[in-house]
Amino acid sequence: MTEFTPKNAAFHSLLADTDEGEPDGGYLCPAAAELALGEVADGVVVTDPYGRIRYSNPLASELCGSLVGLLPGQLLASSLLLYGDGGERLDLGLDSGVAAGSIPSRRELRGNIRREGGTLLEVSVVIHCLREGVNLKGYVLVLRHTSEVRRISSRLSWQSSHDALTHLPNRQTFEHALQQLLGSGASPRQHHILLYLDVYQFKVVNDTLGYSAGDALLIALTKILTRCLGEGDLLGRVGSDEFALLLRDCTLEEAKRIVTRLREAVNGFVFQWEDSETRPALSIGAVSVDHRAPPASQLLASANDACSAARDQGRNRVKFFGDSRKALAKRRESTWLAEIHAAIREDRLLLYRQPVVALQDKNRVHHYEVLVRMQGRDGDVISPGLFLPAAERYGIIDEVDRWVIRKIFRYMALEQSSGAAGFHYAINISGISLGDELFADFVLRELTEAGVAPSRVQFEITETSAINNLDRALVFIHKLRAAGCSFALDDFGRGASSLAYLRQLPVDYLKIDGSFVRNMLEDEIDSAMVSTVDHLAKRMGISTIAEFAETPELLEKLRLMGVDYAQGFGIAAAACLPEISGPRPSSSVN
């Protein structure tokens, strides 16, 4: 983690500027400065000459105990309350009435920040004065724990409660804040609004432009939404392309005006990526929150249902939660149940594959992961993120699993009969199928009937599903491994119990969770996590696979680190299974 030093203070005044125009030579652009300050291990706040906040990095908010953050336009003196050891208020001295020449360039205060619950946090505050000639331009404040251990602990605490990409509170933190609001003994007259926002057709951006474009779009939308926030409002990222916004002390009429402002702000934005232009839109669900409201998790589910109903009506729609949750769930259930059953019956599910390459063997294709898509009635390909969660929620994912098993085994048999040995394939198994005592026998029977060599088959199970069905998972793994199949533990590192259960699961591969891999070039903690998992796996005789390998630089770093295999957009996107004809395709990806 990088420390903030006075030597790089010169460019901080740029953070409050817009992106219009180019900065003078020798200066960092605002985006670069903001990214750099977001990663340092100190809290950094930039103010104007009057002490109004122009910028604060995430660690400043963490030190102050604020989920919302120190918002631009607020007076720092009212947002950062510093107390002496005797309990007296300490004056930060951000006074523009004093002649600029008489203000010291650097001064330091030591005091305590009173956080939620009354606990005191001992900090040092270094105040740098920014001048342009004789004119006072503002201040840069550096907030630092007096203990190095506490500083690192603060950084880790922030990372566990916030989204690494957007720096917004994550779902768990947002839900906790919402539950705290519900349990604060609010007056019957208090009324709040919870909004659930979905980026319409976000997956199209990911599929056509790549994950880097999708990340850039989310960051841009976060900035747009943040500008629309009022003091006390809370915005969080609660899904891959989903946000939640809590409007405190807000009536229904006020919420409608805010929703209109949000939609207009997003509608006016054109996302440019290389030679492509995209006009994003929002689907918004809303639910009222008062003293009679159900728990936070149910409120979020209701808002999500309303958002889904808005999305079903088309782009840029809003739905205020009026139906009962049961009615909305029933409507969604009947729609998806019928559609998935029809897709299986009419053979409208599609098999895709994505290569997994050997990093230590010139990126030679080692095997392919099998992925499933759905072809809509209009011919469009439907993303798995739309129908697979519904299949899992309503208990029909095992029918999808069985369809995939039959289809891929037949395809592999065709590969063998064409005269080539054929590739190896990794097949995802859901938690429901893993818990089905008959599923292992079904797989073995299909293997035998298709005549596929078991050594060509790998099964991927998620850490969560394995832990939730541990006894069944062990039976399934032992039966299929005895037949010659191999196993991979997917999303390793995402759950809190990863290490505790790893020794009980006889797997051949660990798939390192992509949330650590994709940012490891910029985040030393993520890089250390990947290195640690790889080292642990090697000690246990397990090979490692890195997900979300998206750039040549990232692939090279993984190779030098010793990771065995990788897959991701930087290697190749998922594609339809090729028709089997002619000679066997090349087994290298450059």
DSSP states along 152-214:
HHHHHHHHHHB-TTT-SB-HHHHHHHHHHHHTS---TT--EEEEEEEETTHHHHHHHH-HHHH
As a whole number, mean pLDDT of residues 529-558 equals 92
Element holding 18 (H helix, E strand): none
For the full predicted model, state whether its pTM sits above 0.85: no
As a whole number, mean pLDDT of residues 173-199 equals 83
Q: What is the DSSP letter of 12?
A: G
As a whole number, mean pLDDT of residues 479-492 equals 92
- Confidence class of residue 100 from pLDDT cuts 50, 70 and 90? low
As a whole number, mean pLDDT of residues 301-308 equals 86
pLDDT for 115: 74
Among 473, 481, 393, smallest CA distance to 439 is for 473
Among 544, 541, 543, smallest CA distance to 530 is for 544
Please measure the distance between the N-terminal and C-terminal CA atoms of the chain and give it in whole angstroms. Answer: 34
Helix (H, G, I), strand (E, B) or coil at 305: helix
Q: Per-residue pLDDT for 193 more than 70?
A: yes
pLDDT for 210: 87
Residues 236, 243: contact at Cβ < 8 Å? yes
Q: Per-residue pLDDT for 445 more than 90?
A: yes
Q: Look at 159 and 224; give whichever has higher pLDDT.
A: 224
Q: Per-residue pLDDT for 1 more than 50?
A: no
Element holding 125 (H helix, E strand): strand 120-132
Q: Per-residue pLDDT for 15 more than 60?
A: no
Q: Which of 270-279, 301-310, 577-586 has the lowest mean pLDDT?
A: 577-586
Q: Per-residue pLDDT for 484 more than 50?
A: yes
Determine the residue type at 497: S
Q: Which residues contact 105 (CB under 8 A, 6 or more apart)?
A: 128, 129, 131
**What six digits make up the tokens of 314?**
């088309």
pLDDT for 500: 61
- Backbone φ and ψ for 263, nearest 5 degrees, come out as -65, -40
pLDDT for 265: 92
- Confidence class of residue 454 from pLDDT cuts 50, 70 and 90? very high
Helix (H, G, I), strand (E, B) or coil at 240: coil
Q: Per-residue pLDDT for 42 more than 60?
A: yes
As a whole number, mean pLDDT of residues 148-176 equals 76
Rounded Cα distance between 376 and 240, Å, is: 23
Q: Per-residue pLDDT for 43 more than 50?
A: yes
Only one residue has tokens 């740098």, namely 128
Decide the pairing of beta strands 457-462 and 575-576: unpaired
CA atoms within 13 A on the CB side of 417: 10
As a whole number, mean pLDDT of residues 582-590 equals 46
Distances (CA, A) of 243 to 139, 222, 227, 282, 534: 33, 9, 15, 10, 33
Distances (CA, A) of 294 to 108, 287, 288, 300, 530: 47, 11, 11, 10, 40
pLDDT for 64: 78
Rounded Cα distance between 412 and 583, Å, is: 15
As a whole number, mean pLDDT of residues 485-511 equals 78
pLDDT for 252: 84
pLDDT for 485: 97
- In tens, the pLDDT along 224-261 reads 999 888 878 899 999 889 999 999 888 888 888 999 99
Strands (E) located in 408-540: 425-429, 457-462, 486-492, 509-512
pLDDT for 194: 93
- Confidence class of residue 22 from pLDDT cuts 50, 70 and 90? very low
- Confidence class of residue 31 from pLDDT cuts 50, 70 and 90? low
User: For a pLDDT cut of 90, what percent of the chain falls above it?
Assistant: 35
As a whole number, mean pLDDT of residues 401-418 equals 92
Q: Per-residue pLDDT for 303 more than 60?
A: yes
pLDDT for 535: 92
Q: Look at 59 and 363; give whichever has higher pLDDT.
A: 363
Distances (CA, A) of 433 to 210, 388, 428, 440: 31, 14, 10, 9
Q: Per-residue pLDDT for 566 more than 60?
A: yes
**What six digits make up the tokens of 546?**
């890195």
As a whole number, mean pLDDT of residues 200-218 equals 87
pLDDT for 448: 95
pLDDT for 13: 40
Q: What is the chain's mean pLDDT, rounded?
A: 82
pLDDT for 269: 92
As a whole number, mean pLDDT of residues 429-454 equals 93
Q: Look at 586 and 309; give whichever has higher pLDDT.
A: 309
Q: Look at 98 and 448; give whichever has higher pLDDT.
A: 448
- In tens, the pLDDT along 376-390 reads 888 888 888 778 888
User: For a pLDDT cut of 70, what percent of the chain falls above it?
Assistant: 82
Q: Look at 269 and 37; give whichever has higher pLDDT.
A: 269
- Confidence class of residue 6 from pLDDT cuts 50, 70 and 90? very low
Rounded Cα distance between 7 and 26, Å, is: 13
